[in-house]
Amino acid sequence: SHVLTQPPSVSVAPGQTARITCGGNNFGSKSVHWYQQKPGQAPVLVVYDDSDRPSGIPERFSGSKSENTATLTISRVEAGDEADYYCQVWDSDHVLFGGGTKLTAL
Amino acid sequence: QVQLVQSGAEVKKPGASVKVSCKASGYTFTRYALHWVRQAPGQGLEWMGWVNAGTGYTKYSQKFQGRVTITRDTSASTAYMELSSLTAEDTAMFYCARESFSRNDHWGQGTLVTVSS
């Protein structure tokens, strides 16, 4: 079965670019979605179908995908972007979440 | 606007069951699936299962198979998640989330379930 691997933490200085990876075993045609979760809050969808943004999500959030790695890129990181980020795919009628990455703005 | 409102916090004893509700509004309930996700304190998101709100079809994670039951009441636009044989390891926040084309585009506020003797 599919397993999604994320780095536990990523740290960047404010104003810099953060890249959070999600390693999979041949994403193929699977769509990758990304969620942001701030402390004490429910997750929020920030990127869907690999690279699309829901309305209301800043253009600073973008996504990309290769055969085995999906990447969430956050440009010009702000203090308010500090959160846990999770990737997610469908696999054979089941949902898989990555383990999550804690983004810290140093 | 789409809203998912979950029932309130619960405290249960080990071995008991808990049933959490998720009331949907702002969209046609039967046109979307609803998922349930568990998050233990300080841990990541863990998918439990989903229900097709239109047909009632369900699919569960192998980890929770046999212990979780997800149902829906179309007349009340509400989905339910019941988890049985609770242990301390089930102490967690439980979320419902609407699914649209494989992504969870709206989430409930979460329901904290505490299992303690």
Write out pLDDT tens, residues B63-101. 999 999 999 999 999 999 999 999 999 999 999 999 999
- A35 contacts B104? CB cut-off 8 A: yes
Q: For residue B102, what is the nearest residue in chain A, using CA coordinates?
A: A90
Q: Quote the CA–CA distance of B34 and B80 in Å, as a whole number.
A: 10
- A88 contacts B104? CB cut-off 8 A: yes
- A96 contacts B103? CB cut-off 8 A: no
Task: Summarize pLDDT for B12-57 with one digit per residue, the tens.
Answer: 999 999 999 999 999 999 999 999 999 999 999 999 999 999 999 9
Count of A-B CB contacts under 8 Å: 54
Q: Is A44 in the B-facing interface, judged by CB distances under 8 Å?
A: yes
